[in-house]
Every structure is written in C-alpha cells, then in structure tokens.
Amino acid sequence: MLTYSELIKSLEEALKRKVVYRDGKKVIQKKSDKEGYKTQDGKEVKMSAKERLTRSKTAKKAAKKKKGKQGAINRARAKTMKKRG
C-alpha cells in the first residue's frame, strides 16, 4: 500500500512525448520535464549529484563546439523545413 506522498509523486511522474526527426524518420521519445530527473527503462529516475555535475560541464563544452557549427546546422534545418512545408 502506497502512502499519500508516494501516491502524489507517482501521479506527478509524467513522461512527456517528444517528436524528433532522425534520418528522415519520425521518432517519438519519452522525456522527463522535471529538473534533475532522467528517463530510464520508461520511468523517471532521480540523477545523482555527480551525474548532474558531469552533465552540466559536458553541456558547456558541447555549447562551445555547437557555436562554430551553427551556420551549417541552420542551413540543414532550413532544407528540411522546405521538404516538410
């Protein structure tokens, strides 16, 4: 039997569906929208402090790399949007 707080947490646990296009195919991903949580085996799981720190550092490095490639990314995206439109 679940306690009231556990029941509320389980009801709050709502994975959002996100549509992503990969290799010209439509893929539906389930993602967690809560801060500090990730999706694992179809469920929301709280990330450890170490993992959150690592992800934060990695995101900063990735942002620096992405900045240089943004022009090419925008051109490819515009081309895809023309196909879809």
Asked if residue 8 belongs to a domain, the reply is: no
Confidence grade of residue 63 (pLDDT, cut at 50, 70, 90): very high
- Distance separating alpha carbons of residues 37 and 52, to the nearest angstrom: 9
Residues 53 and 39 in one domain: no
Backbone angles phi, psi at 19, to 5 degrees: -90, 125
Instruction: Domain of residue 68: give its range.
Output: 48-85
Residues 57 and 81 in one domain: yes
Residues 19 and 34 in one domain: yes
Domain total of the chain: 2
Residues 33 and 56 in one domain: no
Under a CB-based contact definition with an 8 Å cutoff, are residues 47 and 37 in contact? Answer: yes
pTM of the model: 0.56
- Distance separating alpha carbons of residues 15 and 32, to the nearest angstrom: 5
Could you read off the pLDDT of 13-62 as tens digits, one per residue? 678 888 888 887 889 988 888 888 988 888 888 999 999 999 999 999 99
Residues 65 and 39 in one domain: no
Block residue for tokens 């990735």: 62
| 68 contacts: CB under 8 Å, gap ≥ 6 | none
Asked if residue 3 belongs to a domain, the reply is: no
Would you say how long the chain is, in residues? 85
Residues 43 and 68 in one domain: no
